Structure 1
C-alpha cells in the first residue's frame, strides 16, 4: 500500500527540473579540466544517475532499494567533494550544491503533491488519514502548513556558519538538548503535531532557547524550555497555577509556542525566517519592519540591518539545529538512541529529586545521571524538597524497575538521605555589621493569587528578579499565595 501511494504521489516535473540542476553541477564549464577533475565530475554525474535509479526502484515498488541507492548517491557526492577541495581546478561549490539539493530531495522526495491523475494536491491531502498516519520522519519534514521544512531553509552562509557552530563549539549543548527533548517528547510534540508544525522546528527553537533545561531563566526574565517573556506567556495562557509559573511546564509551553508560531506564520504569510525572528525580537517590531511586504527576505538589508546581532544570529541558529535534527548522519553527527517512553513511580519512602538522582546512579546507561531529566519531568517540585511517601513522580519508564531495585531498600537511599541532610558549617561574617549599616531599605509584599515573581518586580519597579530571589532565598522563582516577600524599597 505504501509503495502504491508513493508511486501515485511522485512529482515528476519538479524532479525533472531538480535532476537538470544536478546535471548542470556536473558540467565542468568552458575551461578544459584536468584528468583528475574530470574524474571527480564523473563521480558527481554518477551520483546524479544514482538518484534517477532510486526513482525507478521506487516506481517499481521497491522502496528499500530506492532509499539505499539514494543514500549511496549522497555518499558518493560527499566523498568526491573531499577530494575536490584539494584538487586544483575543481569547484567544490558544485558538489556542495548537489549535496544540498540531494538532501532536500531526500526529504519527502518520494512523497509529492500530485495524485494519480496528475492533479495538484494542497495541504495535508498528502495522506487521507492526516498527520498522525504519516511515518515520524515524514511528519518532521512535511508539516509546515503543507510545505516541507527543508524547502523553506535557505542554505546560505549564515545557516552554514550556524551549522559549524552546532557541530563544534555548541555540539555538547546540541546533544544535551537532544537527550532532554527525547524524554520530554511525549509532552511537547503533541501540541506541534496538532498544529501541523514540524517537530524539527520545535527542537531547533528549544535547542537555541534553553538547551532543554525546563527551569532556564534569562537575564531579561524569559523563562522555561522555550523562553517565554512574561507578557507573551500571559497572552498564550502561561499564567500561574497555585503559585507555579506555567512557562516552566513543558507541555504548556509547547502548546503556547505552537499557537504563537501558527499565529505569526499567518501574519507573515508562512515566511518562516520572519516568524522565527518575531519570536526572538517581538512580533510588533517585526511587523513594523516588514509592513505589508511579507515576501521580503529576512536577509534583505532593509530588515536585517535594523535587527540586533542577537536576532541576526538567532534565526540561522534555529534553522541549523532543525536541519541537523533532520539530517544528523549527513553531517557526521550521531544523536544517542534514547528510550523516552513515559512512566511513573509512586514513592515508597520520602525522597527528594536530588536523593533519587543519587540512588539511581547511572541506571539505564545515563552516565551524566538523572537529575536534569527528573527536574524536567517534574517541574513543579523543588529538587531539594523531600517529597512524602505516596507521591507520584513522572519518570522515563526505563527507571521504574531501577527505582524499585535501588531506591526503596538497601544502602543507596540511606546514603542519599545522609548526603541530603548534610549542611556546611555556618561561619560568622566579621564584616556583617558594617554591611548592615549601609543596607538597602526594604518593604514587605504579600503574595496574592495570580502573582509571579517577575510580575511583582515589574509592578513595584524597583529591583531585579535575581535580587529579590536571592533576598528571599527562593528556588526557581517559586512563590506561594500568602507568602510575605522582602522587597528592596524604591528610592
Structure 2
C-alpha cells in the first residue's frame, strides 16, 4: 500500500487498545473532577456503539452480510443520538465520540484497517451486472462510489482532520445550496462523465468532489483566470489533454471530454506524487510544476507538512479539503443529516417538431418532472454546443433526461405554451447606448453600507473569518475587499459588513 498519506490516515487500533491509551493519558494528567452520572451514561452508550462495530466485524467475517449491515446501522443510529447529547453534557469529549463515529462510517464504506479484514464488505462487483449491463449502469447504487484508488478505498485516503471537518461544515451550511445544485447537475450528466472516470479506475465520489468545488456542475462556467468547463481546465492544460477547438466549440465545455481529460490528469499526477491524493488535488488547483518543486525528491511528504502547507496559497489550502469533504458527503450524506434529492438521470432525446431555442423549451417545459428551478441549466449542460438563444430548426435532435421526452410531446409541440414561449423570446427590447443611459440617469450617491474593520491574524482564512460574520459569505468578503484567489496577508485590514 502506498505511504504517501500514511501520516494522515486513521490507522485505528482495536477499540480496547484505543480506550486503554486514552485512559493512560488521562492518568498522567492533573486530577480532574469525577465524571457526572450523565457523562457516565453517555460514555456507556458509546461503548455499546463500539461493541456494535465489533459485532458487525465478526458477522462480516462469518459471511452474514445482512446481519452485519443491521448491526452497523444500529450502531450508527446510536452514534447520532450520542452526538446530539454530547454538546450539552459537561465533560463530554467530542473527539472521542467522533473517532468512534468515523470508525463506523469507514466500516460502512467497506474500509478496514487490520489484515484479513480488507474487502470483507463493499467488494467491487465484477464487470457487468446480473442483468447484463456494463459500465456505470451495472454498478449498484450502494457500491458505485467505493471504487478503489490504486488499491485503496477512498475512505482510507480522506483524513478527518481540522481542515476537512471545517470544509464539511461549510458544505452543510453556507455552501449547501451549491452542493445540492452540483448534485442535481451531476446526476443528469452522470451518464456522460462517470464512464470516463470508471475507465481510469478512479472513484466517482472524487469526480463529484472536484466538479462541486470547481463549477457546481455548470458546464459553461468560466473563472476570472480563464479556467473553463465543468472541471475548470486552463486553456494550456486543456490542450495538453486533448481539449481543443472543435469547429468553433471549446471542448473544455463538453462534460464527457472534460471528465476524460481530468481522469488522465489525475492518473498522471497520482503517479508523479506517489498516489498522494491530496498532493494531486493541490497540483490540479495550484499547478503541478509548483507542487513538484515543493515536494522535491520526497514524494511521500504530507500535504499538511509545514514545509509544504505553509508555502501554498490560501485558495489551495482550502481547495483540497473542500474537494475531499464534498466527496465524503457524496458517499455518506445520511450520516451528516443530509438528503440529496432523487433524480432520474436516465438519458433520452427529443426530435424537435417545431423550431425552438433552449430558452423557449425551458419556458414551455415549466416545472415538468418536479424541477422547480426549471430545465434551462440541464438543457444547456446536455447540449453544450448550442447557443441557448438561437432557434433550432425542426428535425434537430437534442439530448434531454428521459422523463422529458413525454413532457416535451405534451407541452411543447402544440397548445399555448410554445406560443407563449416564442412570444416572450421574440420580444423587442429598445436599444440604449451607454452615452444615452448616462445622460438620462441622474447621479445619486450610493446607499451607505455599515462596515467594520478587521485585521487579519496569523492562521486566519476567509472561511474562518466568514464564520464570524453571519450576514456575508466567503465570496461576499472577497469581492468587497478585492481579494484575488482569496489570498490574505497577516496585518491586512478587511472591511466586514455589520449584521443588523
Question: TM tier, shorter chain?
Answer: 0.7 to 0.9
Distance change (3 Å), C-alpha of 1:90 and 1:139: same
Shift of the 422–25 alpha-carbon distance from structure 1 to 2, 3 Å rule, reads: farther
Give the superposition deviation at 1:349.
0.3
Q: 1:277 to 1:16 in 2, by over 3 A?
A: closer
Q: Does 1:44 align with 2:49?
A: no
2:403 partner SS:
helix
Matches within 5 A, 1:42-441: 42-109=44-111, 114=116, 129=127, 135-427=140-432, 430=435
Give, in angstroms, the shift of residue 54 of structure 1: 2.1
Q: Deviations over 1:68-90 (max 9, x none)?
A: 22011012122113222222222
Distance 1:341 1:26, change over 3 A: farther
- Aligned partners of 1:112 and 1:126 also within 8 Å: no
Asked whether the equivalents of residues 265 and 272 of structure 1 are also in contact (C-alpha less than 8 Å), the reply is yes
SS of residue paired to 2:142: helix
Task: Find the aligned partners of 1:350 and 1:55 in 2 and give their Cα distance.
Answer: 61
Q: Secondary structure of 2:350's match?
A: strand
For residues 409-488 of structure 1, the aligned pairs below 5 Å read 409-427=414-432, 430=435
Shift of 1:134: 5.7
Instruction: Judge which range, 57-66 or 198-207, deviates more.
Output: 57-66
Displacement after TM superposition at 1:26 (Å) = 8.4
Q: C-alpha displacement at 1:100, in angstroms?
A: 1.2
1:129 to partner: Cα distance: 4.7
How does the TM-score come out when normalised to structure 1? 0.79
The CA distance in 1 between the partners of 2:289 and 2:60, in whole Å, is 47
Whether contact under 8 Å (1:208, 1:317) holds in the other structure is yes
Cα separation, partners in 2 of 1:158 and 1:403, compared to 1, 3 Å: same
Equivalent residues of 2:253, 2:384 under 8 A apart: yes
2: CA distance between counterparts of 1:432 and 1:77? Answer: 62
Contact kept in structure 1, 2:11 and 2:113, CA below 8 Å:
no
Q: Distance in 1 between the 2:377 and 2:144 partners?
A: 28
Change (3 A) 1:25 1:215: farther
Is the Cα–Cα contact under 8 Å of residues 365 and 408 in structure 2 kept in the other structure?
Answer: yes
Q: CA contact under 8 A between 1:23 and 1:45: conserved in structure 2?
A: no
Aligned equivalents of 1:302, 1:338: Cα separation in 2: 44
Task: Measure how far apart 1:49 and its partner are.
Answer: 1.1
- Retained in 2: the 8 A contact 1:25–1:95? no
What is the Cα deviation at residue 34 of structure 1?
2.4
Distance 1:22 1:328, change over 3 A: farther
- Residue 244 of structure 1 and its aligned partner are, at CA, apart by 0.3
Equivalenced residue count is 415
1:393 counterpart SS class: strand
Say whether the 8 Å CA contact 2:124–2:146 is kept in structure 1: no
Q: For 1:321 and 1:267, how far apart are their aligned partners in 2?
A: 24
Q: CA deviation at 1:62?
A: 3.6
Listed one character per residue, the Cα deviations across residues 419-454 of structure 1 (whole Å, up to 9, x for unaligned) are 0000211245555999xxxxxxxxxxxxxxxxxxxx
Unaligned residue ranges in structure 1 (runs of 5+): 1-13, 435-491
Give distance in 1, aligned partners of 2:236 and 2:163. 30
**Following the alignment from structure 2 to structure 1, what is the Cα–Cα distance between the partners of residues 226 and 213?**
16
1:18–1:372 CA distance, 2 compared to 1 (3 A) = farther
Which shifted more, 299-308 or 360-369? Answer: 299-308
Per the normalisation by structure 2, the TM-score is: 0.78
Deviations 1:442-488 (A, max 9, x none): xxxxxxxxxxxxxxxxxxxxxxxxxxxxxxxxxxxxxxxxxxxxxxx
Q: Secondary structure at the match of 2:152?
A: coil
Aligned partner of residue 389 in structure 1, secondary structure: coil
Q: Which runs of 5+ in 2 are unaligned?
A: 1-9, 129-133, 440-500
